[in-house]
Amino acid sequence: MKIINDYILKETKMSIVFGITLFTFIFLIEMIVSMMESILVRGLSIIDVSRMISFYLPMILSQTIPMGIFLGIMITFGNLTRNNEITALNSMGVSLNKLLKPIIGIGVVGTIFIFFLQESLIPRSYIKLQQISYKMIYENPVFQLKDRVLIDGISEYKIYIDSINKKTKDAENVLVMINDKKSEYPTLVLGKTAYWEDAALLLNDADFYKHDEKGNVSVTGNFEKKRVPFTSYFEDIKVKIKDIEGMNIKQLLSEIKTRDKIEILPYIVEINRKIAVPMSTIALAILGVLLSIGNARTGKGVNFGIGIIVIFLYIVLLNIGMVLAYRSIISPFLGVWFPNIVLYIYTLFLYSRKVRLV
């Protein structure tokens, strides 16, 4: 039986890789088009864009692995059925339960790996995405530090840079004008050197001058280091991903403790989603076998089509359930788990029919 299990795993491996790659590429198409626009129009580095896409991969894989496993198993067992290999295995006394053992193993491994992505890699990838987004913003022409340049595309700030140190790459003799709503005269901050750090311009040895309504200097001071934040500007151009999606279950539970009852609903929905989606992998793996065996006339195109329809229905039901849960029409548990309940019931129903035939 070990030889048969190894053979099934060998035949399934490449098909699963194909399935996961296909669905991952579909998810990435829109992002790639958007990134190409950023490269051509905004002059972003191809390397930085590639890195950003790579940090998105764990988030995408957590959704595409169940789909890819399902499609890959359907393709494999469809081929085995058409080549009469399933019939040959049945004649040797290999039952459906024995055929399903390595497939269930694949589903379990896939489930564990998705949990690993969600609980470990995705939170880290989210942080990396934030960091690289800042880097890409700093390299935007609006933020580039150059000799004798005036940066005035940043809301209430204007920055004048006299020169750039060729060795340290720091700006020298920097003037920052901060518009004051209470006065028509801006607050002036003069720094000997400056450089970007996170979402702020950090000035060394900085003097500041605040003016009153008549234009007279009313307040002055000196700082060894002066941080000029640009948080409000950067919030509009951060990575477009909900913070909640970048959290693991432990972080979500911690957030729930600090929120009001009205605010915790999205976190409860997300926790259920992070458990339900990985748990669908085992049912989809088994269903891939059950839908493929027993009909030797079914072609690859038919199996592929059935697979796409099943996945499409699962995604639609999941999204509808989450929307209803967010609006408090149904409970978060029912909204998120209903597709899994339907999936497992259908899998058990199909198994009860196939086990008598195979």
Structure tokens at 226: 């002066």
Q: What integer pLDDT is reported at residue 38 of this predicted model?
A: 58
Residue from 16, 67, 78 nearest 284 by CA: 67
Residue from 163, 195, 191, 196 nearest 176 by CA: 191
Average pLDDT over residues 225-251: 65
For 323-342, the pLDDT digits (tens) are 999 888 999 999 999 999 99
Distant-in-sequence, close-in-space partners of 239: CB < 8 Å, separation ≥ 6: 52, 126, 129, 130, 133
User: What average pLDDT does the chain have?
Assistant: 80
Q: What is the DSSP letter of 121?
A: I
Whole-number Å distance between alpha carbons of 13 and 72: 8
Q: Residue 223 forms beta bridges with which residues?
A: 206
- Helices 96-116 and 46-82, interaxial angle, to 10°? 170
Residue from 236, 224, 171, 222 nearest 201 by CA: 171
Q: What is the DSSP letter of 140?
A: S
Q: Answer yes or no: is pLDDT of 174 > 50.
A: yes
Structure tokens at 156: 């209430």
- Specify burial of residue 231 (Cβ count, 10 A radius: 0-12, 13-18, 19+): exposed
Whole-number Å distance between alpha carbons of 143 and 102: 55
Q: Which region among 211-220, 225-234, 327-336 has the lowest average model confidence (pLDDT)?
A: 225-234
Q: What integer pLDDT is reported at residue 241 of this predicted model?
A: 43
Residue from 169, 151, 171 nearest 160 by CA: 151
Q: Are 133 and 237 in contact (CB under 8 A)?
A: yes
Q: Which region among 53-62, 85-94, 126-135, 228-237 has the lowest average model confidence (pLDDT)?
A: 228-237
Residue from 226, 187, 233 nearest 206 by CA: 226
Percent helix, strand, coil in the chain, to 5, is 65, 15, 20
Whole-number Å distance between alpha carbons of 287 and 316: 18
Q: What integer pLDDT is reported at residue 73 of this predicted model?
A: 92
- pTM assigned to the model: 0.69
- Measure CA 145 to chain center: 32
The residue that leads in pLDDT, 32 or 234, is 32
**At which residue do the structure tokens 């007279």 appear?**
216
Whole-number Å distance between alpha carbons of 312 and 306: 10
Q: Are 29 and 74 in contact (CB under 8 A)?
A: no
Q: Are 160 and 189 in contact (CB under 8 A)?
A: no
Q: Answer yes or no: is pLDDT of 358 > 60.
A: no
Q: Residue 286 forms beta bridges with which residues?
A: none
Enclosing H/E stretch for 204: strand 200-211
For residue 282, what are the CA distances in angstroms to 50, 77, 140, 242, 355? 32, 16, 46, 28, 18
Listing DSSP states for 11-42 in one string gives HHHHHHHHHHHHHHHHHHHHHHHHHHHHHHHH
Structure tokens at 64: 């595409």
Q: Answer yes or no: is pLDDT of 347 > 60.
A: yes
* Residue 40: band (very low, low, confident or very high) from pLDDT cuts 50, 70, 90: low
Q: What integer pLDDT is reported at residue 152 of this predicted model?
A: 65
Average pLDDT over residues 264-284: 93
Q: Are 193 and 174 in contact (CB under 8 A)?
A: yes
Order the strands of the 217-229 sheet from edge to edge: 149-154, 157-164, 171-178, 187-197, 200-211, 217-229
